[in-house]
Structure 1
Amino acid sequence: MPLSTTNFRAIDQGNCNPRFMRSTLREIPVSYDLWNDSGLPLGLIVQPLADLHQADVQVPLASTSAEGPVRCQRCKGYINPWCRFVDGGRKFMCNLCGFDNEVPSDYFCHLDMTGWRTDIEFRPELQLGSVEFDVPEEYWTRKPAPVSLVFAIDVSWSAVKSGMVESVCSAIQGILYEGSGLDKETKVAILTFDSSVCFYNIKASRAELEQAQMMVVSDVNDIFLPLSEGFLVDPVASKRVIEDLLRLLPSIHTNNRATVATMGSAVQGSLLALKETGGKVHIFQSLLPTLGPGALKGREDQKLYGTDKEKQLFLPQNPFYTTIGKECVQSGVCVDLWLFPQNTIMDLSTLGVLPALTGGDTHFYPNFDSSQHGALVHSLERSLKREQGYNAALRVRCSNGISIEDQYGNFDMQNATDIELAGIDADSSIGFSLKYDARLKDTEELYFQCALLYTTTSGLRRVRVHTLCLPVTGSMHSIFKHADVEVSLSLISKKIISQATKRSLNEINLDLDVQCVKILTAYRKYCAASSSPGQLVLPDSFKVLPIYTLCLKKSALLRRDPNVTSDVRVYTMRAIKSASIAETIKWIYPRMIKVHEMLVQDNVNVTPMERLSYSRLSSSGIYLIESHIYTFLWIGQHATPELLQNVFGVTQSDHIDSCMTQIPALDNTLSRQLCECLDNDYSTSPEKARLYIIRQGLDSEQEFVKTMVEDETYGQMSYVDYLCLIHRQVLSELEKDKQEAIVSSASYWAYRY
């Protein structure tokens, strides 16, 4: 199985594309005891709307009858390639629960001599692991409608001064009317807020409406919708009015002296507009909301940083956002939060509840300025144009003997099985930990099925079904051989984030060490017992487990660092909790590209990489590090004039503009390769980090050095030292097991004689 970060093409032959669903173990242990002895995590990462490789076949739409897709009468699983037809095609056996179902008369087909239906080539649901079905009205919670978008913009003094209002308005206008635009059926609305909430009539069908009409609701504690029509409009039909409004908003509020922004009222007003149809709200906020519903107080206490009491800062201080978040879920309204604080704390623990419950995203731009405009445009365009749905429900079903133990992600749940998502998109993933209900048979196969019921942005109600078949094994060698370290790390990350409000960071850090030691001890004990005691033996599939564990401990999730505010930590938690496997790896161990080797390598399709250690940097090279927070371009002080000319268009490093916000696109092979590499990466990334130019010997390397996670950073040991520590602990565990075995043997013989 290729790594999640690999650029690969997948062929669906009955198992869904691994981009949609991956298991931590590709061979499932036959029993709980065998799995527990391995120490490996057991679970799934599901990303039902994930982007596909350009060569992959798109998920097909399977035909259905008026009653909807064929399902098992007992477990409600959907028909899939692993169901077996019997009794001449009159029945099918559910692969999930084993129940024999009557085949509906309009779905009946004869079987050939090998037991296959004769119409299988016309039935994608019987050939492919991923399919979609249109569903009838019984699957509706409300009449499906094309998506509606509300842009709620903070226009307080802080928002205007920072340039946020101008940048947001410019970004919205560019996305709506430049390039491909949005889906034809999409409707948009605009409201602004400070100490009051302003709704805008932007419908252009009325001849007398030459510009947007502003309607102000001053009583922020009693919000209502002041217009019955003209708020949600077709952006194409109202292009002139919308463009004029977006152009004027920054100048209208230039002299605004309001120092408050009633975000809670803006959310209530947006929900009123979308309550009947569902949709998505994008809230752009620059300061802590201290007025109206959901008003908050500053509560940041730096004395708690790094202590066992820091977890108190991760709890919401006001139940308002939880309450309205659940109302949004019930109405199919997803919320994306865009925060632009200026040297202030936004209390993301409380505000972030809205996107966390509704399946939305939190975007964080501390100390925003105009140099970050490109990053904002990228993120907003990705948010609006990626594949997505709303008013969704998701459920994962498992074969007999295995069931779901817990779920991790940004969503709401009203019962123990169904995940409710007001919105879901191509970048959203959900983690599932599994548990044993009974011992399995090592001759059988295990099945998992993810079903996502959702409304498309064009207003179609569909269910997307992904099915995965995995073998069962009784061999510890096979378990380790087919374990997936990237999926495991993603699941572990999501799990520890869910514990952050209950346990201290120190306890979580210690648990990570214990789990790492347990896994490596199990491999040494059961798969490499004959190895030399002084040799650290790592399983091939989990060789990077120690470095990933160390990097997770050094990340903003867990490190004890007074510079990591509660906002930064919570933002990181919420982002990783819903991040894809590949994005999680990028958060924890960013890739470092050797730019100077891109031309001399043999295979142009392979990007030359380097490990994250300062000792590995060459002073004659140029290196690019991509993380979610920073993009660093480090230029060695001995880089050749030719190399500098190819990348920057100058021959001396002191002539490079250290304030540039993007790498220049020049007419030479190296520049084209570098720009193409970055464009490919950004095209599927939800965020575009700010670029920093670091010229060795000229610019400060303080932040750059912190990304060298294999070195001693943040007061924590280097990778080499950590590896030695883990090795000693593994040997200690093996010696402890040996002593326990001796004592057990002695007790046995003493009892016998």
Structure 2
Amino acid sequence: MSSSRRRAYPQPSYASGPGNAVGGGVPVPQVNQFQQQQAYNGVDAVNRQFQGLNVGGNDAYAARTAGGAQYGQYGQYQQQPATPGAGVAGGVSQSPYDQYAQTQAAVQQPLAQTGASSYYLQGNNNAAAALPLNQLYTTDLSRELPPPISDLSLPPPPLVLPPNSTLIPNSETANASPEYFRSTLNVIPTNGSLLKKSKLPLALVVKPYNALKVSDENVKVTSDTTVSRCRRCRGYINPFITLAENGRRWRCNFCNLLNDIPSSFEYDEISGTIKNKFERVELNYSVVEFVAPKEYMARAPQPIVYTFIIDVSINAVQSGLTGTITRTILESLDRIPNENKTARLAFIGVDSNLHYFRFNEGLDGTEVLIVSDIDEPFLPSPDGLLVNLEENRPAIEKLLIDFPSYFEDTANQGFALGPALKSGHKMINHIGGKLICFSATLPNLGEGKLSVRDEASVSGKPKEAKTLLTSADSFYKSFAVNCNSSQITVDLFLTSSTYQDVATLSNLPRYTAGQTHFYPAWTSAKSEDVTKLSKEVSDHLSQDIALEAVLRVRASTGIRMSSFYGNFFNRSSDLCSFPTFPRDQSYVIEMSIEENINKPVVYFQAGILHSTSFGERRIRVINLAVPTSAKLNDIYASADQLAIVNLYTHKAIETALSSTLPDARDFLVSKVVDILNVYKKELVAGNVSGASPLQLSTNLRMLPILLFSLTKHLGFRADRVPSDHRAAALNNLGSLPIPYLVKYIYPTVYALHNMPDECGLPEKLITTNEETGEEEEVVTTNILLPEPLNDSKSSWENYGLYLIDNSSELFLWVSGNVVPGLVEDLFGTDNLYAIPTGKTELPEFSEEESEFNFRVRQIIGKIREQNDSIVWKNLYVVVGGSSNEPIEISQQRDLMALRMWAYSCLVEDKTGSEPSYRDFLTSLKTKVSQ
């Protein structure tokens, strides 16, 4: 293998117009409109040459966005010529793509990057009164084959705000980044009829937390407990308010009411010093946390409480679940958030009886108390069941070590989950907390008893959804609602090798803000299974969850929140209740326009009242400002295709569960047809007769393939799918944040056999030493990944090596005609059929022994590395077919099943009865032309 190393160079400067050298942050002189357009034409030409793109027509947007996609997510990009002096307020730290974007935006000021919050364009005082919004570019989908998947890593179209939109002029941190808050439309229609005419949805995607740990977020916190809110609409003071009466009052940007500025904004009574109100974090930052005063507390912040409900039936013991979970909890005790030493734990073992563990005060041991009455379960002791982790650490550790031995000889096949849940509820309902259930058995005793449903007779038929995917017992939803009112979240970890009725059980987490984690056919005999479960449970326990939380989203007058999607319970029409707030899920809120909007900007604000894991009551406030327009082309040019996919995913799930799976697939296709029809009728230039019916705004060109891919997803596909797998897939689709959702729908494929030499190694940059002026090579911690390929076998070579990431698993595809030397470098053997297949891990060779093996493992490690999700991706090695496979028939069957699973990730191709993307576009032509 080659031992060459990458030498990276600073981003080059490009001449983007007459006299306008741009690059390295050089200020750009002011130009007139004509020079401005010429500059953009020059940039487009450079982009095309730089990328080698074959982009025709008026697709300047395509050239620009594709030009920067290789550098990853959420860099800044400019979609249209801006007014002279317009600047970009950045929402993320400077990246290579941000540097490249500077060469494109030749008429803008250099990017002003911050590490925390917003990305939007804002004009200066000399800008025209009507600031031009994002320009509309048109793409012919039939000519975009293969589709440009680099668009999937781009941020949404920029938010172009009028000048002086913020209290602090030209603020760079006032508007929320798309990581926290994004709208399906980055230009809001001025009335409901225009929204209806557009056939585009209006919704917000909210992800209040962006890391599992507080320390990984850079959210500003107020210095005192002053919380200033509008007296009428109760909106929080924010960077978009205006001041009146010489700064003594502030005008609410939501309802226009004047409110008094708190005296503490300008004077600190404790220290007796004068303060500058313009330095307040709530007036400068889009995402901020207020320290809540006492009036925001119904009671003092409660401690973190974990009640572990552990399956101890014969299925759980024999599969190794009981032993694996208790060992994982033991090893994770130091990771549980317990800064103020108040965390409490309880344990219940469940088979046909309830096994409680009473901790004796002052003693290291515990005693087992068994309750066999599961019809009327009761707590066998008034104390000692729920104990302080810090004070009882030795006894808890001893219990977790001894726990499996209590049940190692069991023959009990019962699992009374319902009674165990009710007992756990009795134990902690006065405090709240989490009921974390680990199960390898279908609940078969007591309240909530379930039975195996008849899948064979309805699978693949129209009544499948209502028969197999809806709850089989009302207990689980009603109990979940009771838990929510008691501030209790239920989380499930399901590991059965047989039917477990995920569709019914998932109601518990859905209405209590928890999550259902599904591990089909899990066994401790497989080290990879143990690794995945242990890592995910440990990371789950270590999250800095928020407690006793509620979420409310406000909007400017005329906009109403109409539908809410995600794992929570609607306590009232617009108040979402979270007993504990997870940090790895997102939520979607659909909106309607009920009045004409006469203002150039509308505002949205999410407020999350919660208690931190360290016992402080806080309010996280997230602000978003979006421009408005009465023009359909502005609406389309600013639509966020990924946010739209997120909403339509939720609505398709809703359709499937209330109607049928075919109806859900038809819904997704109909949305594509509706949008194409509107675009053809209203926005195609001159509405030319005979023009392609598949023309669409360039910023929406990945919407059709994403919705098409969704119809082929495990949750919706027409093929026969085990109901547990389908239910688990629908649950994931309904809770994943956008970056993971997109990959779950359209997997990412990397070619490893011909990747550049620098891939899989730490990025190296050449920097200039400020003191000596000499160039120095700096090694970063970032591992470079190869460029993704389209999800199509047509882009594969029959001697290739490919890595597929579908957000939950990794597939390493080894083609049947792969070069033997490549196999030996990666696996340590040149015999293709001697390498381990299925769920496994790569052998570990040092960089000196095999550089290729080292680089591939580094890439896999980088893909698995994520600080905002607990998911650990198992690796499946798949060997492609050849004409002379020397394997037995039974092995061949298993290998074929594995191949078909991996092939299902190639969503652009025809798979089984499902059409290819090219076939889908052909069918769209007929539908749109009608």
TM-score, normalisation: structure 1: 0.90
How far the C-alpha of 1:689 sits from its partner, in A, is 3.7
Quick one: which of 419, 422, 428 aligns to 1:268? 422
Aligned to 1:632: 811
Aligned to 1:38: 198
How far the C-alpha of 1:355 sits from its partner, in A, is 0.5
Quick one: which of 302, 305, 322 aligns to 2:477? 322
Query: 1:226-625 to 2 correspondence within 5 Å?
Result: 226-313=380-467, 314-344=469-499, 346-370=500-524, 371=526, 372-441=529-598, 444-530=600-686, 533-534=691-692, 536-562=694-720, 564-600=721-757, 605-625=784-804
Any unmatched runs of 5+ in structure 1? Answer: 111-116, 733-753
Residue 596 of structure 1: SS of its match in structure 2?
A: coil
Kindly indicate whether the alpha-carbon contact (under 8 Å) linking 2:365 and 2:398 is maintained by their aligned counterparts in 1.
yes
How has the CA–CA distance of structure 1 residues 189 and 678 changed in structure 2, closer, same or farther, with 3 Å as cutoff? farther
Q: Deviations over 1:450-496 (max 9, x none)?
A: 00111222222111000000111223222222211111101111122
Residue 303 of structure 1: SS of its match in structure 2?
A: coil
Higher mean displacement: 521-530 or 257-266: 521-530
Kindly indicate whether the alpha-carbon contact (under 8 Å) linking 1:318 and 1:350 is maintained by their aligned counterparts in 2.
yes
Kindly indicate whether the alpha-carbon contact (under 8 Å) linking 1:5 and 1:582 is maintained by their aligned counterparts in 2.
no
How far the C-alpha of 1:638 sits from its partner, in A, is 3.3
Aligned to 2:209: 49
How far the C-alpha of 1:211 sits from its partner, in A, is 2.7
Kindly indicate whether the alpha-carbon contact (under 8 Å) linking 1:597 and 1:608 is maintained by their aligned counterparts in 2.
no
How has the CA–CA distance of structure 1 residues 367 and 53 changed in structure 2, closer, same or farther, with 3 Å as cutoff? closer
How far the C-alpha of 1:672 sits from its partner, in A, is 4.5
Counterpart-to-counterpart distance in 2, 1:479 and 1:334: 40
Counterpart AA for 1:342: S
Q: Deviations over 1:110-136 (max 9, x none)?
A: 9xxxxxx98245311000010001212
Kindly indicate whether the alpha-carbon contact (under 8 Å) linking 2:676 and 2:694 is maintained by their aligned counterparts in 1.
no
Counterpart-to-counterpart distance in 1, 2:809 and 2:718: 20
Residue 250 of structure 1: SS of its match in structure 2?
A: helix
Counterpart AA for 1:724: T
How far the C-alpha of 1:243 sits from its partner, in A, is 3.1
How far the C-alpha of 1:45 sits from its partner, in A, is 0.7
2:925 is aligned with 1:727: yes
How has the CA–CA distance of structure 1 residues 162 and 143 changed in structure 2, closer, same or farther, with 3 Å as cutoff? same
Counterpart-to-counterpart distance in 1, 2:659 and 2:386: 45
Counterpart-to-counterpart distance in 2, 1:657 and 1:146: 47
Counterpart AA for 1:327: N
Counterpart-to-counterpart distance in 2, 1:80 and 1:663: 51
Counterpart AA for 2:434: K
Counterpart-to-counterpart distance in 1, 2:183 and 2:214: 23
How has the CA–CA distance of structure 1 residues 212 and 675 changed in structure 2, closer, same or farther, with 3 Å as cutoff? farther
Counterpart-to-counterpart distance in 2, 1:412 and 1:54: 25
Counterpart AA for 1:321: Y
Quick one: which of 158, 177, 181 aligns to 1:21? 181
Q: Deviations over 1:625-679 (max 9, x none)?
A: 1225542110123333443344334444333222552234432254444444433
Quick one: which of 865, 874, 880 aligns to 1:690? 874
The RMSD of aligned alpha carbons is 2.6
Residue 479 of structure 2: SS of its match in structure 1?
A: helix
Residue 578 of structure 1: SS of its match in structure 2?
A: coil
Q: Deviations over 1:78-104 (max 9, x none)?
A: 111111111112211111111111223
Counterpart AA for 1:508: A
Aligned to 1:74: 232
Counterpart AA for 1:214: V
Quick one: which of 295, 305, 316 aligns to 1:138? 295
Residue 695 of structure 2: SS of its match in structure 1?
A: coil
Counterpart AA for 1:723: L
Residue 188 of structure 1: SS of its match in structure 2?
A: strand
Counterpart-to-counterpart distance in 2, 1:657 and 1:7: 38
Counterpart AA for 1:489: V
Q: Deviations over 1:186-234 (max 9, x none)?
A: 322221110111111246x51xx34321111111122222233333334
How has the CA–CA distance of structure 1 residues 403 and 146 changed in structure 2, closer, same or farther, with 3 Å as cutoff? same
Kindly indicate whether the alpha-carbon contact (under 8 Å) linking 1:201 and 1:230 is maintained by their aligned counterparts in 2.
yes
Kindly indicate whether the alpha-carbon contact (under 8 Å) linking 1:90 and 1:108 is maintained by their aligned counterparts in 2.
no
Counterpart AA for 2:902: F
Counterpart-to-counterpart distance in 2, 1:357 and 1:306: 28
Counterpart-to-counterpart distance in 2, 1:222 and 1:388: 32
Counterpart AA for 2:240: W
How far the C-alpha of 1:183 sits from its partner, in A, is 3.0
Kindly indicate whether the alpha-carbon contact (under 8 Å) linking 1:52 and 1:58 is maintained by their aligned counterparts in 2.
no
Higher mean displacement: 393-402 or 298-307: 298-307
2:663 is aligned with 1:663: no
Residue 716 of structure 2: SS of its match in structure 1?
A: coil
How has the CA–CA distance of structure 1 residues 666 and 77 changed in structure 2, closer, same or farther, with 3 Å as cutoff? farther
How has the CA–CA distance of structure 1 residues 297 and 181 changed in structure 2, closer, same or farther, with 3 Å as cutoff? closer
How has the CA–CA distance of structure 1 residues 56 and 264 changed in structure 2, closer, same or farther, with 3 Å as cutoff? closer
How far the C-alpha of 1:109 sits from its partner, in A, is 7.2
Residue 500 of structure 1: SS of its match in structure 2?
A: helix
Kindly indicate whether the alpha-carbon contact (under 8 Å) linking 2:213 and 2:543 is maintained by their aligned counterparts in 1.
no
How far the C-alpha of 1:33 sits from its partner, in A, is 2.4
TM-score, normalisation: structure 2: 0.73
Counterpart AA for 2:666: L
How has the CA–CA distance of structure 1 residues 450 and 5 changed in structure 2, closer, same or farther, with 3 Å as cutoff? farther
How far the C-alpha of 1:7 sits from its partner, in A, is 6.3
Aligned to 2:904: 706
Counterpart AA for 1:90: R
Higher mean displacement: 347-356 or 146-155: 347-356
Aligned to 1:123: 280
Residue 200 of structure 1: SS of its match in structure 2?
A: strand
Any unmatched runs of 5+ in structure 2? Answer: 1-64, 76-91, 94-113, 118-172, 269-273, 764-782, 886-894
Counterpart-to-counterpart distance in 1, 2:900 and 2:574: 47
Kindly indicate whether the alpha-carbon contact (under 8 Å) linking 1:450 and 1:467 is maintained by their aligned counterparts in 2.
yes
Counterpart-to-counterpart distance in 2, 1:709 and 1:556: 11
Query: 1:139-288 to 2 correspondence within 5 Å?
Result: 139-177=296-334, 180=335, 182-184=337-339, 185=341, 186-202=343-359, 206=362, 209-288=363-442
How has the CA–CA distance of structure 1 residues 366 and 420 changed in structure 2, closer, same or farther, with 3 Å as cutoff? same
How far the C-alpha of 1:182 sits from its partner, in A, is 4.1
How far the C-alpha of 1:620 sits from its partner, in A, is 2.3
Quick one: which of 829, 833, 848 aligns to 1:654? 833
Counterpart AA for 1:260: G
Kindly indicate whether the alpha-carbon contact (under 8 Å) linking 2:487 and 2:578 is maintained by their aligned counterparts in 1.
yes
Residue 246 of structure 1: SS of its match in structure 2?
A: helix
Counterpart-to-counterpart distance in 2, 1:664 and 1:469: 51
Counterpart-to-counterpart distance in 2, 1:710 and 1:57: 37
Counterpart-to-counterpart distance in 2, 1:158 and 1:56: 39
Kindly indicate whether the alpha-carbon contact (under 8 Å) linking 2:359 and 2:387 is maintained by their aligned counterparts in 1.
yes
Counterpart AA for 1:23: S
How far the C-alpha of 1:294 sits from its partner, in A, is 1.8
Counterpart AA for 1:89: G
How has the CA–CA distance of structure 1 residues 222 and 57 changed in structure 2, closer, same or farther, with 3 Å as cutoff? closer
How far the C-alpha of 1:535 sits from its partner, in A, is 6.6
How far the C-alpha of 1:338 sits from its partner, in A, is 1.0
Counterpart AA for 2:190: V
How has the CA–CA distance of structure 1 residues 676 and 467 changed in structure 2, closer, same or farther, with 3 Å as cutoff? farther
